[in-house]
Amino acid sequence: MCTLELHHGGWFENEVYKKGKVCYLDNIVDDFLSLLDLIKIGRSLGYDVDISQVEQSLEIKCRNVEGGLELVTSDTIVVEMVGHIPSNKVVVLYYSEIEIWAELPNEDDDSEFKDNDYEFSENEAEVRPTVGENVANEGTNHGPLGEVSSDGANTSEFDTGSETEDEEPYLGQILMAVGVDGNNGYFPVAYAVVDIESKDSWIWFFNLLIEDLGITNGRAWVVISDKQKGLVPIIEIILPTVEHMMYVRHLYNNFRASLIGLALKHILWAAARATTLP
């Protein structure tokens, strides 16, 4: 018997799983576990997988004996995966969808581009794409609370799509803020591409966000972010009166590094869900 720790909803970046959720399946009879079972579990997690073409749409990875990641592609790998795990222990699995990139507009066809799709700096060295600003701002301001979630992501894996060997992939960071609407759904509010994720770039981003959303009363807003150290003092400076919250998932990732076990996990999440009175 074993427990399956299922990481899903995220993706891999340099062999690190990003932005996923975690759930558990207990009392699994590992002697009869197969690749088909793992695929069916993926479908139950929300992955739209055609079992006959699973290799083109879904990746399932596990931890091997050396502690590295191994792609699960056969029943033999599944047997090896559970074989080196002691009885009643946890088997860690990572699910990620294989992305199919949409084709970019033809740069030779001016009709496929609009002037307001991009903002150019004075020297045209930096491009800042913008999407649906008015719609996004209206949705944010009419949500249950003025709630904004911010994060940064690496763009080093974005290829230029050019066959020229001299051209390198686009480097930099994407800064993004998303809002919550009245149905508790998420939607993008603003994003920007910067050279590096730094104090100056975040201050620039938040100042524009405050201006676009018309934030005058910080007490009516909530900012949620990850545990990045630099964001804490920046938000204290830029938005000193907002409520700054952090995702429990990031706290749990640090927590489980030294405190392992389902009992402690359930206690942590129960505390996170408990009502807090001001």
Read off the pLDDT of residues 194-240 as tens digits, 9 standing for 90 and up: 888 888 888 898 899 888 888 888 888 888 887 676 788 888 888 88
Which of 22-36, 92-106, 111-125 has the lowest average pLDDT? 111-125
| Distant-in-sequence, close-in-space partners of 127: CB < 8 Å, separation ≥ 6 | 118, 119, 120, 121, 193
pTM of the model: 0.42
pLDDT at 55: 64
pLDDT of residue 50: 65
Question: CA-CA-CA-CA torsion for 131, 136, 137, 141, nearest 10 degrees?
Answer: -170
Give the percent of the chain with pLDDT over 70: 65
In this prediction, residue 111 carries a pLDDT of 45
Of 151 and 132, more confident: 151
CB 45 within 8 A of CB 95: yes
Task: Please write the tens of the pLDDT for every residue from 36-79.
Answer: 888 888 888 888 766 666 666 688 888 766 677 888 888 888 88
Question: Could you give all domains of the chain from N- to C-terminal order, each with its CATH number?
Answer: 2-99 (3.10.20.90), 114-246 (3.30.420), 248-278 (no CATH)
What's residue 267's pLDDT? 87
